[in-house]
Amino acid sequence: MAFNLFIVVLLVFTVANLVFFIMNPLKYHLSLRTLRKTLYTLFIGAISLGLLMDELNLTNWPFILTLTAIVIFMDLTILLTPSIMKIWSAEFQYTDYVEEIIKTNDKIHKAMVYRVEAMSEIIQKNNELLPPSRSYSEQELRNYLDLYAEKFGVKVQIHRIPEIDFSANDFDPLVIDGLAADETQMLVEVYRLTEGIKIATEQIKTIHNFDYNSEEDYVETLAQSAVVSLVDDESMLVPVFMNTDQFIVVLKKEFGDVLEVDAIHITNLIYLFYSL
- How does pLDDT run across 2-18, given as a tens digit for each residue? 667 778 888 888 888 88
CA dihedral (184, 185, 186, 191) positive or negative: positive
The per-residue pLDDT for 85 is 47
pLDDT higher than threshold 70 for residue 138:
yes
| pTM of this structure | 0.63
Higher pLDDT, 190 or 102: 190
The per-residue pLDDT for 228 is 92
The per-residue pLDDT for 196 is 92
Higher pLDDT, 264 or 32: 264
**In this predicted model, what pLDDT tens digit does every residue of 31-89 receive, in sequence order?**
778 888 888 888 888 888 878 887 777 777 787 888 888 888 888 777 776 554 444 44
Q: pLDDT category, 231, cuts 50, 70, 90?
A: confident
Q: Give the separation between CA 214 and CA 227, rounded to whole angstroms.
A: 14
> 40 to each of 1, 75, 111, how far by Cα in Å?
21, 9, 39
Supply the DSSP symbol for 89: T
CATH topology of domain 101-275: Alpha-Beta Plaits (3.30.70)
Q: Give the separation between CA 36 and CA 74, rounded to whole angstroms.
A: 10
Q: Give the separation between CA 30 and CA 25, rounded to whole angstroms.
A: 9
User: Residue range 174-186: average pLDDT?
Assistant: 73
Instruction: Give the chain's largest Cα–Cα span.
Output: 102
pLDDT higher than threshold 80 for residue 233:
yes
pLDDT higher than threshold 60 for residue 141:
yes
Supply the DSSP symbol for 76: I
The per-residue pLDDT for 159 is 93
Q: Which residues does 59 contact at the CB level (< 8 Å), separation at least 6?
A: none
Output helix, strand, coil percentages for the chain, rounded to the nearest 5. Answer: 65, 10, 25
Higher pLDDT, 199 or 54: 199
pLDDT higher than threshold 90 for residue 97:
no
Q: Give the separation between CA 20 and CA 31, rounded to whole angstroms.
A: 10
> 205 to each of 37, 117, 155, 195, 197, how far by Cα in Å?
51, 33, 16, 15, 12
pLDDT higher than threshold 90 for residue 244:
no
pLDDT higher than threshold 50 for residue 222:
yes
The per-residue pLDDT for 64 is 81
The per-residue pLDDT for 2 is 61
The per-residue pLDDT for 3 is 67
The per-residue pLDDT for 177 is 67
Higher pLDDT, 128 or 150: 150
* Strand order, beta sheet including 228-230: 154-160, 246-253, 235-241, 228-230
